[in-house]
Amino acid sequence: MDELTQAFSIALMDPLTVLSNKLTSELPNIAAALVTLIIGYFIAKTVAYLVLRFIEKTRLEQIVAQSGFLKFFNITEKLSFAVFFSKLSFYILMITFVMSAAEMLHLNVMADSLKVILLYLPNVFASLLVLLFGFYIANIAKNVIINGAKGMNIDYAVPLGKTAYGVIAIISISLGIGQLGIDTELLNIAAEIFLVAIAASLALSLGLGTRGVSAQFIAGAYVRDMYEPEDRVEVDGVIGTVLYIGSVKTIIGTDEGQEISVSNERLLKAKVIKG
């Protein structure tokens, strides 16, 4: 019986002794890992605060809002760009310090996994920068096209601007995904099909379905050279003042206070008395 009790005690105590010795030998590493995590936490908090203040002091928040990036992806505008990057900076630094602590504790699998994440983060940053820059350029192009088209009295200024914005946005998304190391061949093919479809639709619309409108556009260019707003004209017995010359029609205000719309093609062909 005594031999059985002794064998049981040895079987129970040996693992505990080994575990105790292991913990004792690892205590310096555990202490170093805890100190690393505590120091890392305060460093990450400090850097996150500095990033938040830097973005708030610059126009980055405004640029992101103006680019339409959040609206395009249906992301709520309550999401603050400054807060997002501040928290992202905090978690990146914390991952770095956790990885260092894991190496101190010889948790190699955990450390290697965190290292893979850290090595991939530059690709994520590059992708975000490409997307933000691309959408910012898309927004500028949209505004330039809309304002320029309106200055030329083109009635379809807004659709033209939005189309240009969409095309640049799709290209930016493709480039951004490419920065993540993801194969974008299928996306590029889809984008090419989309662009070809738009071009084909415009060609068919202008060549077949809107021949009359195209004629009005051409007539509008001649009418703008011949007349200006505030000119007094008489068209087919209607006397009035030119109020507006559009791409396809001209608005004439009569002396009775009425506004008459006259197609530009008709204005070219009709007998018009000016003055």
- Tell me whether residue 191 is in a domain: yes
**Nearest Cα residue to 82 out of 63, 62, 56, 59:** 56
Name the domain count of the chain: 3
pLDDT at residue number 72: 61
Structure tokens at 218: 């051409």
Hunting for tokens 């995590």 — which residue is that? 37
pLDDT at 1: 47
Domain containing 177 — which CATH number?
A: 1.10.287
Does 130 lie in the same domain as 96? no
Number of alpha carbons in the 13 Å side-chain half-sphere of residue 193: 6
Indicate whether 101 belongs to any domain.
Answer: yes
Residues 90 and 61 in one domain: yes
Last residue of a domain, one of 106, 131, 148: 106
Q: Given 79, 106, 133, which residue is the final one in a domain?
A: 106
Residue 94 falls within a domain, yes or no? Answer: yes
Is residue 187 one of the residues assigned to a domain?
A: yes
The answer to whether residues 263 and 195 belong to one domain is no
Per the domain annotation, does 8 fall within a domain?
Answer: no
Q: Confirm whether 219 is domain-assigned.
A: no
Q: Give pLDDT, residue 42.
A: 92
How many residues in total does the chain contain? 275
Indicate if the pLDDT at residue 217 is higher than 70.
Answer: no
| Domain-terminating residue out of 74, 106, 138 | 106
Q: Is residue 218 part of a domain?
A: no
pLDDT digits (tens, 9 = 90+) for 49-77: 998 888 878 777 776 666 666 666 655 55
User: Domain check: are 166 and 239 in the same one?
Assistant: no
What pLDDT, in 10s, does the model give residues 185-215?
766 676 677 677 766 666 665 555 455 656 6
Q: Which pTM does this prediction carry?
A: 0.54
Task: Check which CATH number belongs to the domain holding 247 and give it.
Answer: 2.30.30.60
82 and 129 together in one domain: no
The residue range of the domain holding 56 is: 23-106
Same domain? 201 vs 130 = yes
In a domain, 67, yes or no: yes
Residue 28 pLDDT greater than 80, yes or no: no
> Please, what is the average pLDDT of the chain?
75
Q: Within a 13 Å sphere around the CA of 116, how many CA atoms are in the beta-carbon half?
A: 5
